[in-house]
């Protein structure tokens, strides 16, 4: 994906007018750099020195047992959780710097969670236009057009006027994705976006995510969906007890892990 230009994505679709200035650094630099990130809750060290570099257009899939620190790491990436030490960079911007505005970071690094957190009293379209109006300062009409085009991108053009209660879990999750995409982020984070959904609804969300992969979106994805990991991941990182045990392309990690711990983990999820 290194041949992507700065103003259009690989589908040739025009991104926001500020796309040319928001892409910093050279194309060969990693877009996201995580350097020796540590985080403790009380006596428990949850992240024990995480180092990770993610290139523009890459899809990093994080896997690991429950409690290994996957969500904490994602949350550190967009400042929902503050690191104790270490540094995170998005291009040349230090995300973790005290003078970096967390809200600016969250526009650049969109996040989709397991729990679908739409405003219940607003339509799908309004859920998206809200941020565009308030944060981006778009006019009513601009926001509406942008929201509708993002809804179309996730296959929900016909649900713009529906309220969350009228949508399936998968549709709600896709509205959440559209809302994050509307901010024109550099990176999208997904924390188990399908784990609350039954298989059929999971598939429609996974298809949208696969579409983003094809568009060249840089993504960090925590998921148990090994089909997505196999088909979509550039790299898989296996975390255990707050440390990176092993990282590699999906074929190698699945077929030929170097570490016994990794092998055991993949065997355990295969048997699930
Ligand atoms: N806000 C918090 N306060 C205290 N402890 C926390 C907090 N958030 C996470 N932890 C602890 O940090 C550890 C790592 O949690 P985290 O949610 O990052 O794991 P995870 O890998 O995402 O697990 P899961 O697969 O179950 O989602 C756990 O022991 C958890 O209890
Ligand atoms: Mg988690």
Task: Tell me the pLDDT band of 193, cut-offs 50, 70 and 90.
Answer: very high
pLDDT tens across 119-165, in order?
A: 999 999 999 999 999 988 999 999 999 999 999 999 999 999 999 99
Report pLDDT for 26. 55
CATH topology of domain 27-270: Rossmann fold (3.40.50)
pTM equals 0.89
Report pLDDT for 27. 59
Region 191-202 average pLDDT: 93
Domain ranges in the chain are 27-270
Q: What's the gap in Å between 46 CA and the centre of ligand 1?
A: 7
CA 93 to chain centre: 18
Q: Whose CA is nearest to atom 5 of ligand 1?
A: 41
Report pLDDT for 23. 44
- Would the CB of 242 count as within 6 Å of ligand 1? no
Which atom from ligand 1 is nearest to the alpha carbon of 242? 14
Substitution site in 37, 46, 66, 80 for ligand 1 pocket (most atoms within 8 Å of beta carbon): 46
Region 202-221 average pLDDT: 96
Which chain residues have CB less than 5 Å from ligand 2, an ion?
A: 71
Q: What's the gap in Å between 113 CA and the centre of ligand 2?
A: 9
Substitution site in 70, 74, 193, 242 for ligand 1 pocket (most atoms within 8 Å of beta carbon): 70
pLDDT tens across 28-62, in order?
A: 689 999 999 999 999 999 999 999 999 999 999 99
Percentage of the chain beyond pLDDT 70 is 89
Distance CA 177, CA 98 (A): 28
CB atoms within 10 A of CB 87: 14
Distance CA 156, CA 229 (A): 25
Report pLDDT for 172. 95
Cβ(246)–Cβ(71) under 8 Å? no
Cβ(231)–Cβ(243) under 8 Å? no
Q: Of 31, 2, 1, 6, nearest to 19 (Cα)?
A: 6
What residues contact 266, with CB distance under 8 A and at least 6 apart?
A: 253, 254, 257
Report pLDDT for 148. 98
Which atom from ligand 1 is nearest to the alpha carbon of 69? 18
Report pLDDT for 3. 42
Region 4-21 average pLDDT: 40
Distance CA 263, CA 247 (A): 12
Q: Of 68, 105, 118, 107, nearest to 224 (Cα)?
A: 68
By DSSP bridging, strand 85-90 and strand 243-248 are unpaired
Report pLDDT for 99. 96
Better-scored residue on pLDDT, 227 or 218: 218
Task: Tell me the pLDDT band of 14, cut-offs 50, 70 and 90.
Answer: very low
State the average pLDDT for the chain. 90
Ligand nearest the Cα of residue 224 is 1
Region 8-17 average pLDDT: 40
Beta strands in the chain (DSSP E): 30-41, 44-55, 59-63, 85-90, 93-94, 109-112, 187-191, 218-222, 235-240, 243-248
Show contacts of 90-93: CB within 8 Å, 24+ apart.
Answer: 90/31, 90/32, 90/186, 90/187, 91/23, 91/24, 91/25, 91/29, 91/31, 91/186, 92/24, 92/25, 93/24
């Amino acid at each position: 994906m290194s041949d992507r230009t700065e103003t259009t994505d690989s589908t040739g679709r025009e991104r926001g007018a500020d796309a040319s200035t928001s892409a910093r650094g050279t194309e060969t630099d990693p877009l996201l750099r995580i350097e020796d990130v540590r985080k403790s809750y009380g006596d428990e060290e949850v992240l024990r020195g995480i180092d990770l570099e993610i290139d523009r257009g890459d899809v990093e899939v994080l896997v690991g047992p429950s409690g290994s620190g996957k969500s904490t790491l994602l949350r550190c990436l967009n400042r929902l959780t503050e690191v104790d030490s270490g540094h995170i960079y998005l291009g040349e911007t230090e995300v973790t710097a005290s003078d970096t505005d967390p809200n600016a970071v969250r526009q650049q690094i969109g996040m989709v969670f397991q729990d679908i957190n739409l405003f219940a009293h607003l339509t799908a379209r309004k859920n998206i236009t809200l941020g565009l109006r308030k944060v981006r300062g778009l006019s009513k009409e601009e926001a509406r057009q942008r929201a509708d085009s993002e809804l179309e991108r996730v296959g929900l053009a016909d649900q713009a006027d529906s309220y969350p209660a009228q949508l399936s879990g998968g549709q709600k999750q896709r509205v959440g994705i559209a809302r994050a995409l509307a901010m024109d982020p550099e990176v999208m984070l997904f924390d188990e976006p399908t784990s609350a959904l039954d298989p059929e609804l999971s598939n429609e969300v996974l298809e949208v995510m696969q579409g983003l992969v094809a568009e060249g979106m840089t993504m960090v994805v925590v998921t148990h969906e090994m089909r997505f990991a196999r088909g979509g991941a550039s790299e898989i990182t296996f975390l255990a007890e707050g440390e990176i045990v092993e990282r590699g392309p999906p074929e190698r990690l699945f077929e030929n892990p170097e570490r016994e711990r990794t092998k055991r983990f993949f065997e355990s999820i295969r048997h699930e």
